[in-house]
Amino acid sequence: MDFRCRVCDVVFQSSGTKKEYVDSIYGPCSKVVANCPTCGGESSEFRTPKQKKSSSSGAIAPCGMSPQAAGCSSCSQ
């Protein structure tokens, strides 16, 4: 698993440990945390943002138009 320390702004790999906590809004929750190798601070899991393919339905094309929209030749390559 990848974790990211917000203090050091570094991403590191660790097996992590499960931590249970009580959220003031959602109640009992659990998350996986790991200690930063640099500062030792608690870091939460880092998930790489998924790249959306421009060809997938519903995605917004770079020009801002829907891919299904006719006449957008700048995004159809």
Residue nearest to Zn ion (CB): 36
Closer Cβ to Zn ion, 14 or 66, answer by number: 14
Residues 6+ apart with CB under 8 A from 56: none
Least distance in angstroms from the C-beta of 41 to Zn ion: 5
Q: Where on the chain is the footprint of Zn ion (CB under 5 A)?
A: 5, 7-8, 36, 38-39, 41
Other Cβ atoms less than 10 A from the Cβ of 4: the count is 16
Closer Cβ to Zn ion, 4 or 66, answer by number: 4
Residue of 55, 31, 27 lying closest to 42 (CA atoms): 31
